[in-house]
Amino acid sequence: MARQRGERRWRWASLLTLLLLAGCTGPSPSPSPPTTLRLMTHDSFAVSDEVLAQFESEHGVSVEILRAGDAGAMLNQAILTRSAPLAHVLFGVDNTFLSRALEAEIFVPYRSPQLEHVPAALDIDPQGRVTPIDYGDVCLNIDRSAFEGELPLPVRLEDLTDPAYAGMLVVQNPATSSPGLAFLLATVARFGEEGDYTWRDYWADLRRNDVLVTAGWEDAYNGAFSAGAGEGDRPIVVSYATSPAAEVYFAEPQPAEAPTLALMDGCFRQVEFAGILAGSGGGEVAQAFVDFMLSPAFQEDIPLNTFVFPASSEAELPAVFVEHAQAADEPISLDAAEIGSGRERWIEEWTDVVLR
């Protein structure tokens, strides 16, 4: 009997201990906000130190920038590490690769209150998984000095197939270059896939007209382009509508007129987005950083660092942009889902037409 009473007392004591422990612990605490915010981005990303320091001071965190190659390589890395994200926020995926990011479900939805200052045409994801930060128009750029004689400046994309412009054009490989892919998409949208004259026919004509293909923008613009930093002899190159502003800004002394001109026909609009990586634990700090990227301080820092336009209509542009940069009135665009379904096939077919 004494043993049974002792066992009963032990059981009641054990049960009471478990109940007390349950009452003390309660629900699991939410994770602490990070003290370091990690930003994964492409190698071309740039921001002024004082602008980044402003965010760090306001939120009591440090910002670590993880550069992950070009935009395509960056996205591949983010997809491969989605089960254990390397960063809290990703910036630099554009509309040419956006469908891959959304299909891989690497982002969590977040609608920044700063989006009220962003044109609806740039805010293309209705679920709010990505936030537009900047945009630029990929256009043909022309060396003005090469057309001071009798040969007229080309005006339309079709002009480049004229034998008068043979050996003048340099483009980037769409398999390895973001502007190269944008220019390919522009021709797909412009000439279509079916009919008497398709985008493949256009590129076949460019090949017959001795188009030069390089791996990336640097090789094309500063290597083969006659107005670039190298000793190139090609006066027409695929670049950006803002490139003439860069030519003026970096020249010493600065000329009154840019030595290059952007051809505004056939421009493809690239939009770059930021998104909060799913499972990263960034929480409110990551949301605050996305908000900060749309703030006037960050947006007005964009033009002279990366030579694209800020997404916010509230941002004031520097004088060199107002005078020498352009945004296409009617840029070419394709739906992100359409790009996603056709991109790899178009690149493969382009390779067959142009390189083989």
What residues does each domain of the chain span?
36-135+270-322, 137-269+329-354
| CATH classification number, 137-269+329-354, choose in 3.40.190.10, 3.40.50.2300, 3.90.930.12, 1.10.10.10 | 3.40.190.10
Residues in the chain: 356
pLDDT digits (tens, 9 = 90+) for 248-259: 999 999 999 999
pLDDT digits (tens, 9 = 90+) for 106-152: 999 999 999 999 999 999 999 999 999 999 999 999 999 999 988 99
DSSP tag of 72: H
- Do the domains spanning 36-135+270-322 and 137-269+329-354 agree at the CATH topology level? yes
Q: What distance in Å separates the CA atoms of residue 227 and residue 243, rounded to the nearest whole number? A: 11
pLDDT above 70: percentage of residues in the chain? 91
Q: What distance in Å separates the CA atoms of residue 179 and residue 240, rounded to the nearest whole number? A: 8
Question: 5 pLDDT exceeds 50?
Answer: no
Question: 15 pLDDT exceeds 70?
Answer: no
Burial class (CB in 10 A: 0-12, 13-18, 19+), 28: exposed
Burial class (CB in 10 A: 0-12, 13-18, 19+), 162: exposed
For 36-135+270-322, which CATH class? alpha beta
Which residue bears the tokens 């071309």?
44
- The mean pLDDT of 98-107, rounded to a whole number, is 94
| Residue 307 near residue 117 (C-beta atoms within 8 A) | no
Q: What distance in Å separates the CA atoms of residue 306 and residue 323, rounded to the nearest whole number? A: 17
Statement: the pTM of the whole predicted model exceeds 0.75: yes
Report CA dihedral (248, 249, 250, 252) to the nearest 10 degrees. 70
| Residue 319 near residue 245 (C-beta atoms within 8 A) | no
The CB density around residue 355, as the number of other CB atoms within 10 Å, is 10
Q: What is the mean pLDDT of the chain?
A: 90
129: CB partners within 8 A, 6+ apart: 102, 107, 108, 109, 110, 275
